Chain A
């Protein structure tokens, strides 16, 4: 089946720094989703991408759907303490739209 590789596994950054993470797939995706999970809560959708090459922003977050349709990137600019959490990429694996998730990127922001 499809494999989603998400990196890095974790990041320790200082407040104000930019953050970049990415996901790669062994197969082509027609949708990429990025979720954030706050500590002790369920994942919440940040950005959805539906077209190769698409670049979409949500506040300080920017995500891109790779041209090859096998990868996606999420950037967070000027990080703040509330950016702490686990970020997941996800994409549909079959015609029914079952989602497969990456292993997550844990972000820790220090003052």
Chain B
């Protein structure tokens, strides 16, 4: 089975801190995605990457950046965390051309 691993399950950060959320997948998938999940809003796409060193903005990229230096790793970066970025962050991956995503367990970030 494909495994998508988000190394930090729970984080607490202070306003203004730089935050890195890491995601690693082990099945050689080309495409990787970052979503945030908020009650009543479902999953909203922040950024995605179709391949190494490629990145595209999703629906809510403001306040975030990403890095994809290696195929298996997709990092989400909050340059200066703010309280409205308190959320559950979900990473996902898939084979290029497929629709089905495989998700990680999520990283719950609290910004104080």
Binding site for B on A (CB under 8 A): 4, 6, 9, 31, 33, 35, 40-45, 48, 88, 90, 92, 96-99, 101-104
Residue from the list A6, A9, A41, A99 in contact with B101, Cβ < 8 A: A99
Q: Are B42 and A42 in contact (CB under 8 A)?
A: no
Interface contact B41-A103, CB-CB below 8 Å: yes
In the bound complex, residues from chain A placing their C-beta under 8 Å from that of B48 are: 98
Query: How many angstroms from the CA of A41 to the CA of B102 in the assembled complex?
Result: 12
**Residues of B with Cβ closer than 8 Å to A?**
4, 35, 40-45, 48, 50, 58, 90, 92, 97-106
25 contacts between A and B (CB under 8 A): A4-B42, A9-B40, A31-B99, A33-B100, A40-B106, A41-B105, A42-B4, A42-B92, A42-B103, A42-B104, A42-B106, A43-B43, A44-B103, A45-B102, A48-B99, A90-B43, A97-B98, A97-B99, A98-B45, A98-B48, A98-B58, A101-B42, A102-B42, A103-B40, A103-B42
In the complex, are the beta carbons of A104 and B99 less than 8 A apart? no
From B35, B43, B50, residue with most partner A Cβ within 10 Å: B43
Q: Report yes or no: A42 in contact with B105, Cβ–Cβ below 8 A.
A: yes
Chain B minimum-CB-distance residue to A50? B99
Contact call B98/A43, Cβ cutoff below 8 A:
no
What is the total of A-B residue contacts with beta carbons within 8 Å? 50
A35 to B92, CA, bound (A): 13
**A89: nearest residue on chain B (CB-CB)?**
B42
Query: Which residues of A sit under 8 angstroms from B90, Cβ to Cβ?
Result: 42-43
